[in-house]
Structure 1
C-alpha cells in the first residue's frame, strides 16, 4: 500500500477510530491504529508481537485492530461493493467472454474456510471436515479478480446447501431481485436462442439456470470434457482472486485467535482492501507468490444438491453445443482436454 493509498483510507476511517485525549492520557493517533491493523492483516502476527513492535499494550492493539476493521467495513463497503445494476452485469459478462471465453457469465463463485482457534463454548459448530475450526468466506468475482459479492461468518461445519442457499446472493438470485439482464443470444450466434446469464461454480454448487457446474465423473464423453474445460477456465478466476487476497493479507493463512464476530470483520476488511488495492499490473506477481508458497485456503464442500431442474440441464446442453460450434470454439480446446 502506497503512502497516498494509506492516507486515502485514513481520510475515510479516521473519524471512526479517533478517540478523545483527556487529562489522564493521550489517545492513540488514528494513523497508528491503521498502521497496526494493516501490519496485522499483512503478516498475521499475534497481538503480543505487535504490542512489542509498536510499544503499545496488548489490549490496545487488539482494540485498535477490531475498531479499524469495523470502520473499514462501515465506510468502504458501499464504494467497493456497489449495488449491482443491469449495466454492471453486462460489463462483467462482456469481459468474461473477451478474457475467459465463457458467454453470459455473471461471475465465478466459490467458498473457502478461514481457520480460527477453537471458539469458547462453541461445541462442534465451527468444526469442519478438515479437522480444524473455521468460518466460511463465500465470494463472487468478476473477470478481473474483483469481488462483487461477499458473505462471511457461516459456521465451518455448514454444508449440504446451507452456505449458498442461505446466503443473500442465493436467495436474491432465486427471487430474481439482483437486476440480472434478460435472456439474450450468445455472442456471435443466435442458433441456441435467448440464453440466461449464469454464474460458474465447481461441483459443490447446485445446477441452476443461473448457476453452471461441471459434469460429474471421470469417464465422460469428449463433449462433456470440453464443457468442463471451458467452465473451469472461467471458474479459475475466483481461485486466482482468493490467491491474490491471501498472498497480500497473510492473516488468512494463520489460525486467528479472535472471537468469531471479530474474525468476520477482519476477513471482510481484508476483502474490501483487496478490491481497493487491486491493480492488474500486479496480479501476476501475487499469483506467482501464492504458487511458490503452495498455500491455499481450504474449500467448502457440498454447498448444494447435485440434481438440477430440466431447464438447467437444457441451458448446460445448449452451452456445450455452442462451445463446439464455429462461433463458440477456441483453437486450443481440443489440445487442452
Structure 2
C-alpha cells in the first residue's frame, strides 16, 4: 500500500461522493477469484466451492477504479472476510496507521454528527468500525432499502474495477497455468499496469450503477467531536436517516 496523506484520503472521499452520492467513503473492498491450474502438491487448499482451483485477489479501490492496496495468493477455500482480516491493509487500517482523517460532517449536514471515514464492503465482511456493510436483506424498511441502494452504488466501484482489469489483461479469462509464486507475480504486475494505464490513458467505461434499480440491488460509542468514534451500526443508522432527508435525496 502506497503511503497517503490526509488530503489524499479526503480527495478519494470527495471523488466517491461525486460519482456515487455516498459520503466519507475512502475505498471499496472485495475479493476476486483468479482461476488457475491446480498447483503441484497443494491438495485441496486452492479448491473452491465453485469446483475449480483459484487464488484470491483481495483489493481496496478508489473512486477512479484504481487499486489503493491489494493482497494476492490466499487459498480459494478462505472467505473474503478471513482474507481481509489477515491482510496487511486490514491490519494497518485497524491500527490507524494510514493517516486517515478522524471524520467530518456530511454534506449539507453541518449541524449533525461528525461521521468517520470508512471503506465499504458487501455482506461477506464482518461488522467493524472501519468497514461499512449493507443491512441484512430480510425485513428491510424504506430507510434501510434506501441505504442499501446508496451503499451498492459505492461498493460496485470495486466490481467495475475487476471488470476493467480482466477486459484489459485477457489472461484472467482462462486458468493461469504457472506455479503459484509466478501466478501471484503475474496478478500483481497486472494490477500495477492497470493503475498506470488509468493514470496515463484512462479507460472508457459506462458507469452502469447510476441506473441500478432500487428493487434489484444486492445486498462506532456516542460522538461529540472529531476525536471520538461512533459504532458501525450507529453510522449505518445515521446515514439511513440522512439519505431520506430533502437535502440528501437523489433521483433513482
Equivalent position to 1:268, from 188, 206, 211: 188
Cα distance in 2 for partners of 1:215, 1:181 equals 25
Gaps of 5+ in 2: 209-229
Q: Given that residues 46 and 77 in structure 2 are in contact (C-alpha distance below 8 angstroms), is that contact kept between their aligned partners in structure 1? A: yes
Equivalent position to 2:153, from 223, 229, 233: 233
Q: Given that residues 32 and 56 in structure 2 are in contact (C-alpha distance below 8 angstroms), is that contact kept between their aligned partners in structure 1? A: yes
Q: Deviations over 1:295-319 (max 9, x none)?
A: xxxxxxxxxxxxxxx8111111111
CA RMSD of aligned residues (A): 2.0
2:211 maps to which residue? Answer: none
Cα distance in 1 for partners of 2:192, 2:177 equals 21
Q: Given that residues 80 and 125 in structure 2 are in contact (C-alpha distance below 8 angstroms), is that contact kept between their aligned partners in structure 1? A: no
Equivalent position to 1:195, from 86, 109, 115: 115
Cα distance in 2 for partners of 1:179, 1:284 equals 31
Q: Deviations over 1:154-213 (max 9, x none)?
A: 111112732010011111111111111012111121343110001111111122222111
Query: Which one has the largest radius of gyration?
Result: 1
Equivalent position to 1:178, from 73, 92, 98: 98
Q: How does 1:118-267 map onto structure 2 within 5 Å?
A: 118-159=38-79, 161-267=81-187
1:23 maps to which residue? Answer: none
2:68 aligned counterpart, secondary structure: strand
Cα distance in 2 for partners of 1:242, 1:100 equals 18
Q: Deviations over 1:126-156 (max 9, x none)?
A: 1111111111101111111111111111111
- CA 1:203–1:263: 2 relative to 1, 3 Å: same
- CA 1:137–1:182: 2 relative to 1, 3 Å: same
2:9 maps to which residue? Answer: 89
Cα distance in 2 for partners of 1:281, 1:313 equals 37
Cα distance in 1 for partners of 2:176, 2:111 equals 52
Deviation (angstroms), 1:222: 1.4
Cα distance in 1 for partners of 2:188, 2:163 equals 16
Deviation (angstroms), 1:283: 2.6
TM-score by length of structure 1 reads: 0.65
Q: Given that residues 46 and 76 in structure 2 are in contact (C-alpha distance below 8 angstroms), is that contact kept between their aligned partners in structure 1? A: yes
Q: Does 1:283 align with 2:204?
A: yes
- CA 1:169–1:222: 2 relative to 1, 3 Å: same
1:112 aligned counterpart, secondary structure: strand
Cα distance in 2 for partners of 1:281, 1:196 equals 30
TM-score by length of structure 2 reads: 0.86
1:331 maps to which residue? Answer: 251
Cα distance in 2 for partners of 1:214, 1:147 equals 22
Structure with greater strand share of residues = 2
Structure with greater helix share of residues = 1
Q: How does 1:309-328 map onto structure 2 within 5 Å?
A: 311-328=231-248
Cα distance in 2 for partners of 1:84, 1:283 equals 26
> Would you say how many aligned residue pairs link Structure 1 and Structure 2?
231
